[in-house]
Amino acid sequence: MPDRSDKEILEAAARGDEAAFAHLYDRYQQRVRLVAWRISHRADWLDDILNEGWCRAFNQRTSFDPERDFMVWIVGIVRNVYREFCRQGKLSIAGKDEADRAGEVESGELSPVRLVQEAEILSELNLCVEQLSDIDGQIVRLRFFENQPLRIVAQQVNVAEATLRAIRIPEVIERLRRCLARKNIDISDFFSAQGGGDSQ
């Protein structure tokens, strides 16, 4: 479908064209995955959220207005799926009632437009993480993408917890800071200065 313009592909998808929708899936699925992670912060929930979200989008494709931003539309669907899962108790969050989490998702801070903007920045972060060594990339994903306690990260990567806290994580964060700075992105948008400091 390379000879068709973006507008033609969006219009075809809105008419129910399955090939056009598949093209949109290929183009946007990675960024939508980043949004689902941004909402949930749990890698083990992503597939369920995404599968349901994309299935709904496919079934509702003829209701899509091709004049709209497709990414905002699909993100709105994924956001609603996550909110429903929380309310129905399909997803549980330690220390938080599912209804409380659903309320957070409904807030303006997690609007589809805001989430799409953050997905663009997360894509740049992901590119920087891919430049790290395998073990450093794993540390970042476990600690900051999946919110794993430091002791669990230490066990997974076979590095002493004290070493992670005092040396390894600060060094990795500094490398990411320099990488993101070249893209005019402030690393504090992602990690607090104390990101590796606790041992929970």
Provide the pLDDT for residue 94: 43
Identify whether 57 is part of a domain: yes
The verdict on 6 and 95 lying in the same domain is yes
The verdict on 60 and 152 lying in the same domain is no
End residue of a domain, out of 108, 141, 163: 108
3-state secondary structure of 93: strand
Provide the pLDDT for residue 185: 85
Identify whether 114 is part of a domain: no
Identify whether 124 is part of a domain: no
The domain that holds 103 is classified in CATH as 1.10.1740.10
The verdict on 77 and 170 lying in the same domain is no
Question: How many structural domains comprise the chain?
Answer: 2
3-state secondary structure of 96: strand
The domain that holds 148 is classified in CATH as 1.10.10
Max Cα distance, the chain (Å): 57
The verdict on 11 and 100 lying in the same domain is yes
The verdict on 89 and 31 lying in the same domain is yes
Provide the pLDDT for residue 100: 52
Identify whether 122 is part of a domain: no
Pairwise CA distance, residues 78 & 33, whole Å: 9
The verdict on 190 and 137 lying in the same domain is yes
The verdict on 139 and 101 lying in the same domain is no
Residue 95: exposed, middle, or buried by beta-carbon count in 10 A (0-12, 13-18, 19+)? exposed
Asked if residue 137 lies in contact with residue 172, where contact means CB atoms within 8 angstroms, the answer is: no
Identify whether 29 is part of a domain: yes
pTM beyond cutoff 0.85: no
The verdict on 101 and 14 lying in the same domain is yes
Provide the pLDDT for residue 172: 94
Question: Which residues of the chain, if any, have pLDDT below 70?
Answer: 1-3, 90-109, 189-200
The verdict on 37 and 81 lying in the same domain is yes
Domain span at residue 86 reads 1-108
